[in-house]
Amino acid sequence: MSEVKTIAINEQEFFHGHAEDYRVKKQDTMINFLECGKILFDIKENLSHGMWLSFLEDVRVQESERTSQRMIAVYKDFRHILANDRQKADMLAHLGMTHLLELKKLPDRFKKEIDVVNEVTGETTRATVVDEEKLGDFLGQKVEFEGQVKSVGDLPLTEMKKYIKEAQGVFEPDDMMGNDTSDVDEENLGTTEIKKVENASKAKPLMEKLDQFIALSTEIMRDVQGITYSDVVTESDALRSELKAKLKKSISNSEGIIVNANSLTDRLTN
C-alpha cells in the first residue's frame, strides 16, 4: 500500500509569492506590448514605406497595418514608461490596447512633454506623452458602479469612457438639460442648440440650476479655503481618501462645466 505524502506549506508565503509572480507576469505583458510598439515605430520611422509593409508581412511578424498603427499610437503616448520606471506599468498591467487607446483621449492637462532621441539618427525632438502621475490619479478615482465603490481603472471599458468624456468636458445634452437630442442634426448642432436655449421652457430650468450652483459653489469655496492641514491630519485615512476623491471629482466636473459654459456663451453671443 503506497504511502500518501503530505507537503506542509506556509499559506501566507505561498499566497504572496504567487500574487507577486502574477503581478510580474501581468506587467511583463504590458511591457512586451509597448516593446512591440517601439519596434514597429522604429521600423516605420526609419525605413521606406515598402520596407514597412514587408516587415508587417514577414512570417515572424504577421501584423495588420491597422493593428500596427494602433500599437504605435499607444507606444508613443506611453513610451517613457519603458525608458524611465517600468514599475509605473503596474497601473496599466490589467488594461488592454483598447483601454489605452481610449486613455489617449484624455485632455492636455493629463499630458506632458518629454525629449525623445531617435536611436538611429541621434536627433532629439519634443513629444507629448501621457503624464503617468496624473493618469494614476485618474485611474485611482473612486466611483460607484453597480452598488460598489470601484476605481475608474477597474471599470469596464464602456464605463471608463464616460469618465474620460467627463474629463474632456464632454457631457451628453440630456445629462445637462434633461432633454432627448436623438433627432438633432449634427451638422447644424450649433443652430439647433441656440434655438433650444431660446426656448424659455428649457432655458429657465437651467438658469435656476445656475443660480443654485453659483450660491453653492461660493459656499464650497469658503469651506475649502477655511480647511487647514491641522483640520484634516487628525481624521482617519478613510475619510481623507474619500475627501480627496470627492475634491478630484469636483475639479473634473468644474472643468467640464467651464468648457461647456464657454461654448454655450460663445453661441449665445454669435
Contact between residue 157 and residue 102 where contact means Cβ atoms under 8 Å apart: yes
Which is nearest to 44 in space by CA: 30, 60, 33, 56? 56
Domain boundaries, the chain: 11-101, 169-269
d(CA 183, CA 219): 39
CA atoms within 13 Å, Cβ hemisphere of 179: 16
Q: What is the pTM (predicted TM-score) of this model?
A: 0.53
Q: Taking the chain, what is the end-to-end CA distance rounded to the nearest angstrom?
A: 94
Which is nearest to 156 in space by CA: 103, 101, 99? 99
Write out the H or E segment, with its range, that includes residue 192. helix 189-198
d(CA 77, CA 203): 41
Helix (H/G/I), strand (E/B), else coil: 88: helix
Chunked mean pLDDT (size 10), the chain, 270 residues: 55 77 69 85 87 89 88 87 64 77 87 84 85 86 86 88 83 44 41 45 75 80 77 75 80 73 67
**DSSP label at 4?**
P
